Amino acid sequence: MKNVQKKLPSIFLIIALVGFPQISESIFTPILPALSRGMAISAATSQHTMSSYFIGFACGVLFWGQLSDRIGRRPAMGWGITVYLLGNIGLLLAGQFHIFMAARLVQAFGAAAGSVVTQTIMRESFSGVRGAKVFAQVSAAMALSPALGPLIGGALQTYYGNYRSVFSALITMAVLLLFYVAFRLPETRAEAISHHAVSWPQVAWRMLRSPQVLVYSLIISGINGILFGYYAEAPFIFIQHFGLSTMEYGWLGLIIASASILGALITNGLSDKQAPARIAGIGLVVALIGALGMLKTADALVPLLITVFVTFCGINITLPIALNQALVGFEDVIGTASGLLSFAYYLIISGFTFLMSAMHDGTVLALPKFVTLLVAIMLLGRLVGKLDNRRRARIADKANNV
């Protein structure tokens, strides 16, 4: 690979690298019926390709995060995309479903490098106010990914009439990313990190003793739990209850994307004026107002969409701050810490999405109740963390006065 050390990565490159895992996940949605027919499996079985993605992804973030501390960010990213490419080739060639599922796991395992290594690069390249702004800019751009995946997958399926065209597109994307990384991604790992082996159990124990990590992990998990819970429950509300067509429902993704972009832009504007913790709190309060509004307007389409917009705007004010601040103080082991953080919140997200399915009762109130519950949990976690910080500060003051 070309040596591009000692430079900062471009925002466009960061967006491309952190975005391809999300597109790879959501692009499957519109081809599931065709996959069911092509593989002669049930619709329920075809949906396992979605859940298996999170399993492979959770394992991948642990592996790539620690590997990037050992061999560097650029090599780890290159190997991750290579594994991702092999997974996509396997998906294209698979003739039996068990082989297809194995390839899906490989694809997700490799794609995880795009998430954990890129976030590591961002955290060590941009800090303070600049870091909050970069995370906000990336969050604003990445808000389109969940909407782009289904649109791209649907367009390919419609134009070519073959679900395997999606895998050909993903292979092309992987090859382009490999070249992009080879010629444009700088090595951002500090030299001090490479001089010692990082023990992930020690890092995990250190993280478990940090209230900051625990609180922001809960917030990141809650925000993503709301997002995935929405996509799991929303079709039952908007298609079955309100009678929207599948195409009309698909366009609702742009409402979520617009709210996410606005929230990230608000964070970007507030970063110079407010402390990060205060901005995070403002976002959660906005989200709570939106969630309570969802409870009140669940039976009316337009008011419900407005309150959904407010909710997603609020959580996306908070998300860039949570991602940027979660691992402050872990710069010496940032790759391993990022992997452990991602692994933890993906496990919690899985629990939250299971909770959404358990709360599904066939009424329009299930989603508003779920969202309100998660926002309340995040606010409670933030309050506990704030009180703990004050307690620690008093202890430190007493120790200094002795």
Q: Are 8-186 and 198-402 the same fold in CATH?
A: yes
Place of tokens 């991750």: 80
Distant-in-sequence, close-in-space partners of 180: CB < 8 Å, separation ≥ 6: 13, 16
- Is pLDDT at 78 greater than 60 in this prediction? yes
Residue 191: per-residue pLDDT: 66
- Is pLDDT at 232 greater than 80 in this prediction? no
For the chain, the structural domain boundaries read 8-186, 198-402
- Is pLDDT at 36 greater than 70 in this prediction? yes
- Read off the amino acid at residue 381: G
Q: To 5 degrees, how large is the angle CA 159–CA 244–CA 162? A: 20
DSSP 188: -
Residue 214: per-residue pLDDT: 92
**How confident is the model over 339-359, as pLDDT tens digits?**
788 888 887 887 787 788 778
Residue 315: per-residue pLDDT: 95
Place of tokens 């917009």: 309
What is the distance of C-alpha 376 from the center of its chain? 20
* % of the chain residues with pLDDT over 70: 88
Q: Whole-angstrom distance between the N-terminal and C-terminal Cα of the chain?
A: 56
Q: 360 or 202: whose pLDDT is higher?
A: 202
Q: Of 308, 310, 23, which is closest to residue 144 (Cα–Cα)?
A: 23
What is the rounded distance in angstroms from the CA atom of residue 221 to the CA atom of residue 389? 21
What is the rounded distance in angstroms from the CA atom of residue 380 to the CA atom of residue 377? 5
Total Cβ atoms within 10 A of residue 392: 11
CATH 1.20.1250.20 for the 198-402 domain, yes or no: yes
Distant-in-sequence, close-in-space partners of 312: CB < 8 Å, separation ≥ 6: 226, 227, 256, 259, 260, 263, 287, 290
Give the confidence band of 125 by pLDDT, cuts at 50, 70, 90.
Answer: confident
**How confident is the model over 58-73, as pLDDT tens digits?**
889 889 988 988 899 9
* Phi-psi domain of 72 (left: phi exceeds 0; alpha: psi -120 through 50; beta: other): left
DSSP 10: P
**How confident is the model over 149-162, as pLDDT tens digits?**
777 877 787 788 78
Q: To 5 degrees, how large is the angle CA 137–CA 76–CA 268? A: 10
- Is pLDDT at 29 greater than 70 in this prediction? no
Total Cβ atoms within 10 A of residue 130: 12
Assess contact for 77 and 117: CB atoms under 8 A: yes
- Is pLDDT at 397 greater than 70 in this prediction? no
Assess contact for 256 and 367: CB atoms under 8 A: no
Structure-token pair, residue 175: 């090859």
CATH architecture designation of domain 8-186: Up-down Bundle (1.20)
DSSP 197: -
Structure-token pair, residue 106: 């490989």
What is the rounded distance in angstroms from the CA atom of residue 135 to the CA atom of residue 11? 10
